[in-house]
Amino acid sequence: MTETPPSNWRDIVTEFRARPFGQHSAGLQTLLDRFRAEPIEGKPFLYMIEQHRRWALAHFSTTRPLTWTVDRDTVFDRIEDAEWHVFRRRWRDRYGFDPEEA
């Protein structure tokens, strides 16, 4: 079951796309804190394929002891693109729609 997004959700999405790192509005920071506080089990992270140049999406296992998987088909040349990819996925999981397509 998905939640209803905040009424100013478009502003929040726009703000994140413009500035994924640094000072955020209270609404965006609250949302990011919830996203980023996920348990480590199943949590996404970035696997550095080339030192500080290319990153692949990766996930920790959903059970302990922790292992990991790397999705070498989902690769980023910019950290900001990876942040947006994960933000969209988390948004879909929580609110049931893609913030980019809405």
Interface contacts to another protein, rule CB under 8 A: 20-24, 29, 32-33, 36-40, 43-48, 51-53, 55, 58, 61, 65-72, 79, 82-83, 86
Place of tokens 């948004």: 91
Minimum distance from residue 93 beta carbon to another protein (Å) = 15
Instruction: Provide the minimum distance between the beta carbon of 44 and another protein in the complex, in angstroms, as a whole number.
Output: 7
Q: How many helices (H) and strands (E) does the chain have?
A: 3, 3
What is the closest distance, in whole angstroms, from the C-beta atom of residue 15 to another protein in the complex?
13
- With 0-12 CB in 10 A as exposed, 13-18 as middle and 19+ as buried, what is 36? exposed
